[in-house]
């Protein structure tokens, strides 16, 4: 009664291992192929950056060797100091940080507020407004460049940072508004009810309740807004006159001196480029977790 069932069961379990005897080696092959492909993909994604590092470490004449060597002979770490010096890196870094910081705060705040309004407040035509906002995402930005330039010129904001920052505060970004609204819609109304019972008005609910819950959403927006502002090149170029006010993106362009017939110092440029890329990278790595979570709000859109 105790041992015989085990004994008799043993032979009956024999056939089941026979069904996937190919499984262990098959799975190993699948695993190996997966890793091989993964390696290939990773290298495609990262090779250009590694090459940039290589060029950044090269001496001035080594850049134009044919065939280009992957590993530099000498390691010119000094490039990382000389390069930034060329464009007054610290000042431009500060400029970029201020401009980007303010744009991010403005953009995220406004979009979150707009999203909240569209999701929670009841007013006529809120669906229409939503569609209008999202629709404006499809406008080529070039449509506005000339009239906007004239507008800012007439107000007297030329050669200030205001054209770069104020639209973030006052316009928000349709993509962010979309994200915000979706996120708010996914929060059950019971939370609102609970807060209202405690006597909270919309403002209180927004700041004390909603914002903490929607962390992934606004962190994602912050990261995206950061990237958009950090990378923005055309707008600062058009609106800023004095070189002390430039953000880094325009400063980097000063390396590429095609006009005077001078070939840019690629090694210095790549070195400075790497430094220029560091802040967005750091921001991304720090907030990665929330970012993936936040973007999935876009991925789970089933209501339009």
Residues 220-279 that bind other proteins (CB under 8 A): 227, 230-231, 233, 237-239, 241-243, 245, 249-264, 266, 269-270, 273, 276-277
Q: Are 102 and 288 in contact (CB under 8 A)?
A: no
**217 vs 221: CA distance, rounded Å:** 6
Position among 20, 207, 213, 286 found at the interface with other proteins (CB under 8 A): 207
Position among 93, 148, 187, 200 found at the interface with other proteins (CB under 8 A): 148
Please enumerate in sequence order all residues whose Cβ is within 8 A of that of 265, keeping only pairs 6 or more positions apart, or say none. Answer: 60, 83, 86, 255
Q: Which two tokens stand for residue 277?
A: 């890329």
Helix segments in the chain, DSSP class H:
4-13, 15-18, 23-56, 79-86, 89-120, 126-135, 142-155, 162-171, 174-185, 189-197, 202-204, 211-213, 215-231, 234-239, 248-253, 266-299
Q: Cβ closer to other proteins: 79 or 249?
A: 249
Q: Which two tokens stand for residue 265?
A: 């110092």
What count of residues does the chain have? 304
For residue 246, give the nearest of 162, 161, 163, 168 by alpha carbon: 161
Q: Cβ closer to other proteins: 77 or 207?
A: 207
Residue span binding other proteins (CB under 8 A) among the ranges 4-12, 21-29, 44-52, 74-82: 44-52
Position among 72, 83, 84, 167 found at the interface with other proteins (CB under 8 A): 167
For residue 11, the minimal CB distance to other proteins (Å) is 27
Measured from the Cβ of residue 93, the count of other Cβ atoms closer than 10 Å reads 17
Q: Cβ closer to other proteins: 75 or 286?
A: 286
Residues 109 to 128 in contact with other proteins, rule: CB under 8 A: 109-111, 113-114, 116-118, 121
162 binds other proteins (CB under 8 A): yes
40 binds other proteins (CB under 8 A): no
Q: Are 183 and 217 in contact (CB under 8 A)?
A: yes
Residues 65 to 104 in contact with other proteins, rule: CB under 8 A: 65-68, 70, 86, 98, 101-102
Q: Are 189 and 209 in contact (CB under 8 A)?
A: no
From residue 169 to residue 198, the character string flagging contacts with other proteins as x (rule: CB under 8 A) and all else as - is xxxx----x---------------------
For residue 120, the minimal CB distance to other proteins (Å) is 9
From residue 285 to residue 304, the character string flagging contacts with other proteins as x (rule: CB under 8 A) and all else as - is x--x---x--xxxxxxxxxx
Q: Cβ closer to other proteins: 89 or 239?
A: 239
């Amino acid at each position: 009664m105790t041992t015989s069932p085990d004994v008799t069961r043993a032979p009956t379990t024999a056939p089941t291992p026979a069904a996937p005897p190919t499984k262990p080696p098959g799975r190993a092959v699948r695993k190996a192929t997966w890793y091989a492909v993964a390696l290939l993909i990773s290298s495609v994604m990262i090779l250009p950056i590694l090459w940039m590092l290589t060029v950044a470490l090269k001496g001035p004449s080594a850049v134009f060797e044919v065939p280009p060597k992957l590993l530099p002979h000498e390691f010119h770490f000094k490039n990382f100091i000389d390069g930034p010096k060329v464009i007054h890196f610290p000042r431009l870094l500060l400029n970029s940080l201020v401009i980007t910081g303010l744009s991010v705060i403005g953009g995220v705040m406004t979009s979150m507020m707009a999203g909240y309004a569209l999701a929670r407040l009841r007013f006529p035509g809120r669906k229409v407004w939503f569609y209008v906002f999202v629709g404006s995402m499809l406008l080529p930005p070039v449509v506005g460049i000339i009239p906007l330039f004239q507008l800012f010129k007439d107000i007297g904001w030329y050669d200030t940072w205001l054209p770069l920052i104020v639209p973030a505060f006052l316009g928000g970004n349709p993509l962010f508004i979309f994200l915000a609204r979706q996120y708010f819609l996914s929060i059950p109304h019971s939370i609102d009810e609970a807060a209202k019972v405690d006597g909270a008005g919309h403002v209180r609910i927004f700041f004390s309740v909603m914002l903490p819950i929607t962390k992934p959403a606004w962190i994602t927006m912050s990261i995206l807004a950061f990237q958009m502002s950090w990378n923005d090149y055309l707008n600062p170029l058009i609106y800023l006159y004095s070189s002390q006010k430039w953000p880094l993106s325009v400063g980097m362009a000063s390396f590429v001196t095609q006009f005077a017939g001078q070939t840019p110092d690629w090694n210095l440029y790549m070195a400075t480029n790497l430094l220029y890329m560091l802040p967005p990278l750091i921001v991304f790595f720090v907030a990665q977790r929330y970012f993936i979570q936040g973007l999935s709000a876009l991925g789970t859109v089933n209501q339009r």
